[in-house]
């Protein structure tokens, strides 16, 4: 049975340390604060917002949610972003995904001040990420690396397969792993014969959003399995990995829930604090 990579325990541990940092900053006159723009009533977004709000309150970070109607116009959204860009009390800005069809997400992200881009999704910050001189890192990718570091899983020279090519997980994670001298392949649901790639992988990260996509037959003995997927199956939350069959064959594996999810939220808080400290020269 592979060792469980306990993301929840690590997130709680890191939160205690971050809370002490925030308390010190507040005594010095800096109170980290970020704003979340949520458009519409997507059920999953509501859950994420509640989790972020709870964690921010525990750590002492200020958070404000701007709840916009599902039919909000692009002009209104851009006006709100411009307002938050000008607000010196706001250290971080993020747009909760997904957004309605009438919203041009790329245009909206381009308008966020890169110095307040807590998600690392503005064009300039994405460019810095791939160039290797980034300041912030996307929360999920940051959390995955933190988990690997905590369990002393070295990436240098490892063959890594990432299933999923999103801008918030797959692509930025590939950039960060390349920085650590891993050999990275980015796959997706249109890739022919996933098995040919995954069978050779030392580390597999699945962020495809398809329940039980990764099976025991697809991995080699001793592989490290990172499951980022969140899927609902038979009224249960499951990942992309068929945990029951894969766990006995893996050396390390993340559970769902309790793996990467808590670290994503914790990592977001860390990025907010980094931006606040940089803004105030601390």
What's the CATH fold of domain 139-261?
A: Rossmann fold (3.40.50)
For residue 159, the model assigns a pLDDT of: 98
For residue 256, the model assigns a pLDDT of: 94
For residue 142, the model assigns a pLDDT of: 97
CATH label, 29-113, candidates 3.90.1150.10, 3.40.50.10860, 3.20.20.80, 3.40.50.2000: 3.40.50.10860
Please give the radius of gyration of the chain, using alpha carbons only, rounded to the nearest integer.
19
Q: How far apart, in whole angstroms, are the C-alpha atoms of residue 97 and residue 103?
A: 11
For residue 191, the model assigns a pLDDT of: 93
Sorted by sequence, the CB contacts under 8 Å of residue 27 that are 6+ apart come out as none
Q: In sequence order, which ranges of the chain are alpha helices (DSSP H)?
A: 7-27, 43-59, 74-86, 105-111, 123-131, 139-150, 170-179, 194-198, 243-246, 260-279
Q: Kindly state the DSSP code that residue 214 receives in the 8-state scheme.
A: B
Q: How far apart, in whole angstroms, are the C-alpha atoms of residue 191 and residue 78?
A: 36
Q: How far apart, in whole angstroms, are the C-alpha atoms of residue 185 and residue 171?
A: 10
For residue 165, the model assigns a pLDDT of: 95
For residue 145, the model assigns a pLDDT of: 98
The residues carrying an active-site annotation are 52, 96, 119
For residue 234, the model assigns a pLDDT of: 81
pLDDT (tens, 9 = 90+) of the chain, 282 residues, equals 889 999 999 999 999 999 999 999 999 999 999 999 999 998 888 888 999 999 999 999 999 999 999 999 999 999 999 999 999 999 999 999 999 999 999 999 999 999 999 999 999 999 999 999 999 999 999 999 999 999 999 999 999 999 999 999 999 999 999 999 999 999 999 999 999 999 999 999 999 999 999 999 999 999 999 999 988 888 888 999 999 999 999 999 999 999 999 999 999 999 999 999 998 786
Indicate the domain borders of the chain.
Answer: 29-113, 139-261
CA dihedral 214, 218, 220, 226 (to 10 degrees): -20
> Do 29-113 and 139-261 fold alike per CATH?
yes
């Amino acid at each position: 049975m592979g060792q469980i990579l306990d993301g929840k325990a690590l997130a709680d541990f890191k939160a205690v340390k971050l809370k002490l940092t925030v308390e010190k900053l507040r005594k010095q006159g800096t109170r980290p604060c970020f704003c979340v723009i949520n458009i519409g009533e997507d059920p999953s977004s509501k859950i994420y917002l509640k989790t972020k709000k709870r964690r921010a309150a525990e750590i002492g970070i200020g958070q404000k949610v701007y709840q916009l109607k599902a039919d909000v116009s692009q002009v209104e959204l851009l006006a709100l972003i411009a307002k938050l860009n000008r607000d010196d009390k706001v250290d971080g800005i993020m747009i909760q995904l997904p957004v309605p069809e009438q919203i041009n997400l790329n245009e909206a992200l381009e308008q966020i001040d890169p110095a307040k881009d807590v998600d690392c999704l503005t064009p300039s910050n994405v460019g810095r990420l791939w160039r290797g001189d980034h300041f912030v890192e996307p929360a999920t990718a940051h959390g995955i690396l933190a988990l690997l570091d905590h369990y002393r899983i070295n990436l240098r020279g490892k063959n890594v397969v990432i299933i999923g090519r999103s801008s918030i997980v797959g692509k930025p994670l590939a950039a960060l792993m390349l920085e650590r001298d891993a050999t990275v392949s980015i796959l997706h649901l249109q890739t022919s014969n996933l098995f040919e790639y995954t069978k050779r992988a030392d580390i597999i990260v699945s962020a495809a959003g398809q329940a039980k996509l990764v099976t025991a037959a697809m991995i080699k003995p001793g592989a490290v399995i990172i499951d980022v997927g969140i899927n609902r199956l038979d009224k249960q939350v499951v990942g992309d990995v068929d945990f029951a069959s894969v766990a006995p064959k893996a050396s390390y594996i993340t559970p769902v829930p309790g793996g990467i999810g808590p670290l994503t939220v914790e990592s977001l808080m860390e990025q907010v604090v980094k931006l606040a400290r940089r803004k105030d020269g601390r």
